[in-house]
Amino acid sequence: MNVVIVYDIKSDRLRTKLAKELFLYGIRTQYSVFEADVNKFELKKLYKIVERYSIDDDRVAIYEIHSDIKRFGKAQYIDEYDLIL
């Protein structure tokens, strides 16, 4: 199942920690957006992970996409070590 994970987290430390965990499941398409192809077990793990980072005024959302993700444009995906802090 394809999922899109988006987040808006104020703390640089928490935002970086979440991104590092999300790199284990998918690719970063924008600085606060990841795409992943996961099974049901991995999806449950993702829900548990993002719950830990959804505190105070922060937001994390997982959108389940029940078809293939169509991508347009030639922009490069963001590598794990290209983080801007």
* Predicted confidence (pLDDT) per residue in 7-27, tens digit: 999 999 999 999 999 999 999
Question: Which range has the worst mean pLDDT, 14-18, 37-41, 52-56?
Answer: 52-56
Structural domains in the chain, CATH included, are 2-65 (3.30.70.240)
Contacts 24+ apart (CB under 8 A), 50-54: 50/5, 50/7, 50/18, 53/7, 53/9, 53/14, 53/17, 53/18
Q: What is the pLDDT of residue 41?
A: 97
